[in-house]
């Protein structure tokens, strides 16, 4: 049953105990104040102030006590009456300091954090494969030597990367997009969806136990619709998901539906990476939930009670129809000072996502070593050779950094393909405009990403194919387009052509089913088409081989010349056929320098108008 925080106050005086490694701080050491804060998605902390400082001895005896060395476990208890103390906080002593003011004298100040603090120290890189977000969160917490009760999430990431972030920020970012909140209570970590039906045993009544209050109803984020989108590179289409309307705490008579009708707010969150449908669904649900839990926000301060619980609701009574009901607790603060214990609770949730509210969670541009440069910049090429460091860089001017008359900066160049002793080597020309990026946004390390056309430096000749519709012509050209490779991307009529300044041509033509090599300077030509292969030349046609030359045809082989035809062999010359016929239009002469022989296996006939033998 829910009780008022004033119940039990009359049972005795306020008792506050501070224990270090389980040992109570002696009564001789006066505890001046205690300040404890626990909040959703944050590390709980405590600030304990003790009286200290001896001006006569010029010492700080409490500070010098070994009990208060950093690293000790600290527990704070409070209650009314002896033996009634309840634990308000457990953590680790991380800071130890002294201070003095004109009003309160000297003090020892102890700052404590929950042991989950180790998740916030040091940025890391890690790759996770085939895991759900809940499994990834559990693994990160476990690797830090801690444990957490993590509610299961849907969907599995093929790959998820933690890049240069603390474990804490990485965990919170993943929890946030899955509608989960992190509750840390005395060393125990729970990561789950808000349970607005879970109540703490506490009721606050207006005019009875309330000290201060400040509550506000806000219609701004009471979305009527929430969507999320991503890109599918498989389908080349947008993938969408609609957020599910969340359950919220029953407080007041103005629900999200009524408030949403005020301005009918709709929200769509977008990302371009091809994440899964499960991911954007969880994302949309999270934005919807966070917005609706911001419906009523504020704070209540009342007499101290250990019954206020983070992530649960407390009952509000007598606050009028607008605010009465179950308020969701997102923050608890206990303050003990001058014999009085007060508890303050924060109500509702901040509608701002974790990564927007914590901009330092991401890695700092330029590593935080100097002011960064953002976005892409314009550059103008000054020189492409003689890199003083031999790094194949290009000297450029970046107008926003250095005017055209400046010395310029050497920039590395991104190539389509670059590997040892080979690659795709195309450097820009002096005077060209280039796109410049910067490694890790560091202005000292520029990289050329590509070149750009403009109306002042563009394509001015048809030979290089000015962009047109339909977009069937592509080309690679040098020498002002006089030497180029042309590609015609026309289904069934594809053409690949290489042309030089002297109009030397190699052409592969699907439209005419031909291959052409043409040399107009020396008047040489080779054509391959449906009729066969044609060689034409105004000069000699020479075929040479170190070994054999063979000619073979399924039908005929024909050799023809308009003048003499000569065939010569250093050794033997053989002709063999089913029948051999030689004919001269005027004369025919067969001669052997040593001997000659004419022989027939059957009939041997020698015939002429006149036959002369010897």
How many Å apart are CA 227 and CA 287, to the nearest integer? 9
Cis check for the bond before 470: say yes or no (omega within 30 of 0).
yes
**Positions of E strands within 117-252:** 124-131, 148-150, 157-165, 181-185, 188-192, 199-205, 210-217, 225-232, 237-242
Classify burial at 557, counting beta carbons within 10 Å of its beta carbon; exposed 0-12, middle 13-18, buried 19 or more.
exposed
Distances (CA, A) of 340 to 32, 78, 303, 429: 11, 11, 8, 78
- Dihedral of CA atoms 519, 506, 530, 520 in degrees, nearest 10, equals -20
Classify burial at 481, counting beta carbons within 10 Å of its beta carbon; exposed 0-12, middle 13-18, buried 19 or more.
middle
Give the bridge partners for 433, in sequence order.
380
Instruction: Dig out the tokens for 534 from the structure.
Output: 């044609």
Angle, to 10 degrees, between the axis of helix 133-143 and the axis of helix 167-176?
160
Instruction: Dig out the tokens for 103 from the structure.
Output: 């009003």
How many Å apart are CA 518 and CA 538, to the nearest integer? 12
Give the bridge partners for 426, in sequence order.
none
Q: Are strands 409-413 and 446-451 parallel, antiparallel or unpaired?
A: parallel
Give the bridge partners for 527, in sequence order.
516, 534
CATH for 368-451?
2.40.50.230
How many Å apart are CA 214 and CA 220, to the nearest integer? 18
Contacts of 403 (CB under 8 A, 6+ apart): 397
How many Å apart are CA 119 and CA 123, to the nearest integer? 10
Where does 227-276 have alpha helices with state H? 256-263
Closest to 222 measured CA to CA, from 189, 264, 188:
264
Closest to 131 measured CA to CA, from 174, 97, 168, 99:
174
Classify burial at 302, counting beta carbons within 10 Å of its beta carbon; exposed 0-12, middle 13-18, buried 19 or more.
buried
Classify burial at 350, counting beta carbons within 10 Å of its beta carbon; exposed 0-12, middle 13-18, buried 19 or more.
middle
Cβ(219)–Cβ(322) under 8 Å? no
**Which phi and psi angles does 372 have, rounded to 5°?**
-90, 165
Contacts of 104 (CB under 8 A, 6+ apart): 32
Cis check for the bond before 212: say yes or no (omega within 30 of 0).
no
Give per-residue pLDDT as tens, 97-150: 999 988 778 999 999 999 999 999 999 999 999 999 999 999 999 999 999 999
Q: Are strands 105-113 and 148-150 parallel, antiparallel or unpaired?
A: unpaired
How many Å apart are CA 172 and CA 350, to the nearest integer? 14
Domain boundaries, the chain: 9-115, 368-451, 462-537
Q: Are strands 31-39 and 23-24 parallel, antiparallel or unpaired?
A: unpaired
* Largest Cα span, the chain: 159
- At residue 567, the pLDDT reads 82
Cβ(341)–Cβ(14) under 8 Å? yes
Contacts by residues 544-549 (CB-CB < 8 Å, ≥ 24 positions apart): none
How many Å apart are CA 336 and CA 358, to the nearest integer? 30
* Element housing 436 (H / E): strand 433-438
Instruction: Dig out the tokens for 1 from the structure.
Output: 């049953």
How many Å apart are CA 80 and CA 73, to the nearest integer? 24
Q: What angle do CA 98, 104, 108 make, to 5 degrees?
A: 20
Closest to 145 measured CA to CA, from 119, 125, 172, 169:
119
Instruction: Dig out the tokens for 82 from the structure.
Output: 């002896």
The b-or-e profile of 177-213 (16+ CB within 10 A means b, else e) is bbbbbbbbbeeebbbbbbebeebbebbbbeeebbeeb
Instruction: Dig out the tokens for 258 from the structure.
Output: 């009524």
Cβ(298)–Cβ(215) under 8 Å? yes
Could you tell me if residue 36 is left (phi over 0), alpha (psi between -120 and 50 degrees) or otherwise beta?
beta
Cβ(181)–Cβ(41) under 8 Å? yes
**Is the C-alpha dihedral spanning 103, 104, 106, 108 positive or negative?**
negative
Q: List, for the chain, all residue ranges whose pLDDT scores fall below the cut of 50.
A: none
- At residue 404, the pLDDT reads 65
Distances (CA, A) of 235 to 230, 231, 240, 242, 274: 12, 9, 13, 20, 10
Location of structure tokens 């009314």: 80
CATH for 9-115?
2.30.300.10
């Amino acid at each position: 049953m829910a009780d008022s925080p004033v119940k039990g106050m009359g049972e005795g005086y306020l008792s506050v105990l501070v224990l270090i490694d389980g040992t109570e701080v002696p009564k001789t050491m006066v505890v001046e104040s205690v300040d404890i804060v626990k909040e959703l998605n944050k590390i709980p902390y405590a600030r304990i102030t003790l009286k200290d400082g001896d001006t006569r001895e010029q010492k700080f005896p409490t500070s010098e006590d070994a009990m208060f060395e950093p690293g000790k476990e600290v527990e704070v208890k409070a209650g009314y009456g002896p033996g009634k103390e309840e634990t308000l906080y457990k953590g680790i002593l991380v800071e130890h300091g002294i201070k003095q003011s004109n009003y309160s004298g000297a003090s020892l100040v102890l700052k404590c954090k929950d042991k989950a603090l180790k998740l916030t120290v040091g940025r890391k890189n890690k790759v996770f494969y085939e895991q759900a977000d809940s499994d990834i969160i559990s693994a990160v917490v476990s690797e830090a030597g801690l444990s957490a009760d993590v509610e299961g999430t849907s969907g599995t990431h093929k790959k998820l990367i933690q890049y240069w972030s603390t474990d804490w920020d990485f965990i919170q970012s993943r929890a946030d997009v899955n509608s989960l909140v992190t509750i840390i209570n005395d060393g125990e970590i729970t990561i789950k969806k808000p349970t607005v039906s879970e109540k703490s045993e506490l009721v606050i009544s207006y005019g009875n136990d309330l000290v201060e209050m400040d509550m506000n109803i806000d219609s701004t984020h009471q979305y009527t619709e929430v969507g999320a989108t991503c890109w599918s590179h498989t389908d080349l289409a947008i993938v969408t998901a609609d957020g599910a309307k969340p359950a919220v705490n029953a407080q007041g008579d103005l629900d999200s539906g009524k408030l949403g009708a005020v301005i009918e707010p709709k929200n769509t969150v977008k990302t371009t990476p091809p994440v899964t449908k499960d991911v954007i669904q969880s994302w949309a649900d999270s934005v919807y939930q966070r917005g609706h839990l911001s419906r009523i926000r504020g704070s209540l301060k009342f007499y101290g009670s250990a019954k206020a619980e983070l992530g649960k609701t407390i009952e509000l009574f007598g606050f009028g129809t607008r605010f009465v009901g179950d308020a969701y607790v997102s923050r608890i603060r206990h303050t003990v000072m001058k014999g009085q214990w007060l508890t303050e609770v924060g109500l509702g949730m901040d509608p701002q996502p974790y990564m927007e509210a914590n901009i330092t969670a991401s890695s700092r541009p330029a590593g935080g070593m100097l002011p960064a440069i953002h976005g892409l910049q314009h550059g103008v090429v000054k020189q492409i050779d003689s890199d003083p460091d031999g790094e194949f860089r290009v000297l450029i001017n970046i107008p926003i950094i250095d005017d055209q008359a400046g010395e310029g900066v050497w920039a590395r160049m991104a190539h389509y393909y670059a590997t040892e002793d080979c690659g795709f080597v195309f450097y820009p020309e002096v005077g060209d405009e280039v796109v410049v990026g910067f490694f890790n946004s560091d202005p000292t390390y520029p990289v050329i990403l590509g070149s750009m056309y403009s109306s002042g430096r563009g394509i001015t000749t048809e030979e290089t194919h000015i962009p047109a519709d339909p977009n069937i012509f592509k080309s690679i050209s040098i020498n002002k387009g006089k030497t180029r490779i042309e590609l015609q991307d026309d289904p069934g009529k594809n053409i690949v052509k290489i042309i030089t300044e002297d109009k030397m041509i190699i052409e592969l033509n699907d439209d005419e089913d031909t291959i052409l090599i043409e040399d107009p300077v020396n008047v040489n030509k080779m054509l391959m088409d449906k009729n066969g292969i044609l060689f034409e030349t105004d000069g000699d046609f020479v075929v040479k081989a170190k070994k054999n030359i063979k000619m073979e045809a399924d039908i005929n082989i024909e050799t023809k010349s308009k003048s003499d035809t000569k065939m010569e062999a250093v050794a033997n010359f053989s002709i063999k056929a089913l029948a051999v016929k030689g004919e001269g239009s005027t004369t025919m002469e067969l001669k052997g320098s040593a001997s000659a022989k004419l022989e027939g296996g059957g009939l041997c006939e020698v015939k002429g108008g006149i036959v002369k033998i010897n």
